[in-house]
Amino acid sequence: MVGILGSLLPIAIVFGIFWFLVIRPQKQRQEERSNMLEDLQAGDDIITIGGIKGKIKSINQTSLKLEIAPDVEIEVTRQSIGRVEEELEQEQIETEQ
């Protein structure tokens, strides 16, 4: 019995370390991204994953219209949104301090 417990203890420790270093942070990032995508509103300045900057003109369930230049609109999926530009500016200010 002691031999089995002694051999399972290192495996449990490795799994615990793996949980706190990989799985838990990934779930937190996924939740933050999900909240960001739910909170999108018309008028938000965003940056897509591909690096296109623009302003949201309209939103529906799966996609949105993005104005990338005066009178130039493209339709992108919600999943292609990388971040809201205001959040990026706030993060840059915090890192400079």
Confidence band, pLDDT 50/70/90 cuts, at residue 7: confident
Lowest mean pLDDT among 24-38, 47-61, 78-92: 78-92
Percent of the chain beyond pLDDT 90? 54
Give the pLDDT of residue 56: 94
**Between 4 and 95, the higher pLDDT residue:** 4
Beta-strand pair 81-84/45-48: antiparallel
Question: How many other C-beta atoms are found inside a 10 Å radius of the C-beta of residue 78?
Answer: 14
